[in-house]
Amino acid sequence: MTDAHNPDVTIDSRDASCPGPLMDLIGKVKGLGSGTVVELQTTERNSTTDVPEWLEKAGHDLVEIEERDEYWSIFLEVN
C-alpha cells in the first residue's frame, strides 16, 4: 500500500517559478522505476493543476496534494 508520507524520492522545487517544478518532476521521473512514490515540493500554485494534468497524460498516479504552511507537497506514484 502506498504511503504518501514516506516517499521514496523527494524533489525540492520550492522557490522555482513556473514551469520549473513540473520540469524538475519530468526530468526525475524518467529515471524512476514503477511503484516509486515521489513527493514534489513547490511554492508555485500552478503546479497544483499542471502536475496532475501531466500525470494523467503520462500515465502516472496522483496520490495526494497536501498544503503546508508555505508550500504544497504533491505526492505521486510512478507507473
Give the footprint of another protein on this chain (CB under 8 A).
16-20, 22-23, 26, 29-30, 50, 53-54, 57-59
Helix (H) or strand (E) holding 23: helix 20-29
Q: Which is nearer to another protein, 18 or 35 (CB)?
A: 18
Provide, rounded to whole angstroms, the least separation between the CB of residue 71 and another protein: 16
66 near 75, Cβ under 8 Å? yes
Provide, rounded to whole angstroms, the least separation between the CB of residue 28 and another protein: 11
- Residue 18 is among the residues annotated as catalytic for this protein: yes
43 near 17, Cβ under 8 Å? no
Give the span between the Cα atoms of 17 and 43, in whole angstroms: 8
What are the two backbone dihedrals, phi and then psi, of residue 57, each rounded to the nearest 5 degrees?
-65, -40
Q: Which is nearer to another protein, 5 or 79 (CB)?
A: 79
Q: Which one from 5, 12, 18, 61 is the annotated catalytic residue?
A: 18
Active site residues: 18
